[in-house]
Amino acid sequence: MRTIITLIAGLLFGSGLKLSGMVNPLKVQNFLDLFGDWDPSLAFVMGGAIAVTMPSFWLIKKRGSPMYNDKFHLPKNTDFDMKLILGAAIFGMGWGLGGFCPGPAITSLSLAASGTFIFVPTMLIGMIAAKSIFK
Amino acid sequence: MVNAIGILNLETQFTPFTSLAGGALIGLSAIVLMLAHGRIAGISGIISRLLPPSIDKMGATQGLTFVMGLLLSTPLWFTFSYQAPVQSVSNNFVLLGFAGLLVGFGSVLGNGCTSGHGVCGVSRASGRSVVATIIFMSTGFLTVFTLRHVVGG
C-alpha cells in the first residue's frame, strides 16, 4: 500500500510539472528573464504549490507521526552555513543556464527531449561528486 | 531566435491558470509524501539518496517508486491529452551538460532544489529554505541576464 501511495505521489508531481509548464526550460528561463520577454507563470506554480502545502503541513504535523513511519524526517539544521549559500548559488546558475531543475529534468526523460539525455547524466555526476566531497 | 551561443530567446505564453493548477498538483504530491512517510518532497534529495557513495538502501524502494511515478506521468498525460507538453530545449549540449553538473553539485551541496527549498521548505517557514530560494532565484536571474543580454545580446 505504501508503495502505491508513493507511486501516486510521483505521478501527481510529474503531472503537475507538465501541466504547469515547468518541464519547458524556455519557460523557466523566461521567468528568470525580468528584462526580456518575462513570463511570470512560474510564480503561479510556486504560489499554487505553497498555497496547498502550507496549511496542510501544519495540519499533518498535528497528527504527531506520519502514516507509515514512527516520526517525521525533517531537516534539523538551522545554520546559514557556507554550504547552503554556495550550493544554492551554484544550483541557481545551472538552473538559469539549462532551464532545468532536477524534477522536470527526470520527468522529461520519458518525453524524450534530447537535451535531457545530456543534462540528467551530468546532473547525477554532479550529485555524486558533491556527495563524495562533502558528505 | 537562437543567439550565437545556442541560447533560445523566444516568448512563451503566460499561463496563470494551468500553472496554478499544476502547482497545486505538485503541492498535493508533497502532502501525500508528508502524510504517508513524513518526508519532504525534495527531488534532489530523493535522487541523491539513491546514488553512491552512500546509498540509502532503506529508502531505495520508495525513492525508486517515486522516480518511476515521475516517468510514468508521461503515459498518464497522453491518456488525457493528444498534445505533448510544450518543450523547447537548447541544442547546445556542452552548455546543457555543464548546467547539469552545476544543478547536481549545487543541489546536493545546498541540500535542496526548487521543490525541497522552494516549495516544501518555504511552506514549513524554514529560514534556510527561504534564504536558499532567494539565492538560487538571484543567481538564476543573473545567469539568464548574462546569457541573453550581455554575452548573447
Chain A: closest CA distance from residue B4 (Å): 15
Grid coordinates representing B36?
504517508
Does B5 map to a domain?
no
**Domains of chain A, residue spans:** 2-134
A73 against B8, higher pLDDT: A73
Q: Please tell me if residue A127 touches chain B, with a CB cutoff of 8 Å.
A: yes
B82–A contact, CB cutoff 8 A: no
Instruction: Name the grid cell of B60.
Output: 531505495
- B134 versus A134: the higher-pLDDT residue is B134
Does residue B19 lie in a domain region?
no
**Helix extents (H) in chain A:** 2-20, 25-32, 41-61, 82-98, 102-109, 116-134
> Of A8-17, A92-101, B7-16, B26-35, where does mean pLDDT reach its minimum?
B7-16
Cα(A24)–Cα(B21) distance, integer angstroms: 16
The three cell numbers of residue A33 are 528573464
Q: Give residue B2's pLDDT.
A: 62
In this prediction, residue B91 carries a pLDDT of: 87
pLDDT confidence band for B1 (50 / 70 / 90): low
CB contact under 8 A, A95 and B104: no
| Residues in CB range of A132: below 8 A, 6 or more apart | B53
pLDDT at residue B19 is higher than 90 = yes
**Which 121-150 residues of chain B touch chain A by CB within 8 A?**
121-124, 126-128, 131-133, 135-145, 147-149
Residue-wise pLDDT for B98-125, tens only, equals 999 999 999 999 999 999 999 999 999 9
Per residue in B31-77, pLDDT tens? 999 999 999 999 999 999 999 998 888 789 999 999 999 999 999 99
User: Is the pLDDT score of B22 beyond 60?
Assistant: yes
Query: Which residue segment(s) compose the domain that B61 sits in?
Result: 27-83+92-151
| DSSP assignments along B41-88, one per residue | --HHHHHHTTSSSS--TTTHHHHHHHHHHHHHHHHHHHHH-SSPPP--
Supply the pLDDT for residue B3. Answer: 64
Q: Which three cell numbers stand for residue A61?
A: 504535523
B102 touches chain A (CB under 8 A): yes
Amino acid at B102: L
List all residues of chain A from 32 to 91 with a beta carbon under 8 Å from chain B: 32-37, 39-42, 44-54, 56-57, 60, 63, 65-69, 71-75, 77-80, 83-91
Average pLDDT value for chain B = 92
In this structure, is residue B99 part of a structural domain? yes
Instruction: With respect to residue B7, please indicate whether it lies within any of the assigned structural domains.
Output: no
Query: By CA distance, what is B38's nearest residue in A?
Result: A72
Give me chain A's average pLDDT, please: 94
Span A98-111, pLDDT tens digits = 999 999 999 999 99
B77 with A15: CB under 8 angstroms?
yes
* CA–CA gap between residue A133 and residue A124 (Å, rounded): 14
Task: Please report whether residue B1 resides in a domain.
Answer: no
A8 Cβ neighbours under 8 A, 6+ residues apart: B32, B69
pLDDT tens, residue by residue, A46-72: 999 999 999 999 999 898 899 998 899
Measured between CB atoms, does B40 come within 8 Å of chain A?
Answer: yes
Count of domains observed in chain B: 1
Cβ contact A25:B87 at 8 Å: yes
- Domain assignment present for B36: yes
Q: CA B117 to CA B94: how far, in whole Å?
A: 28
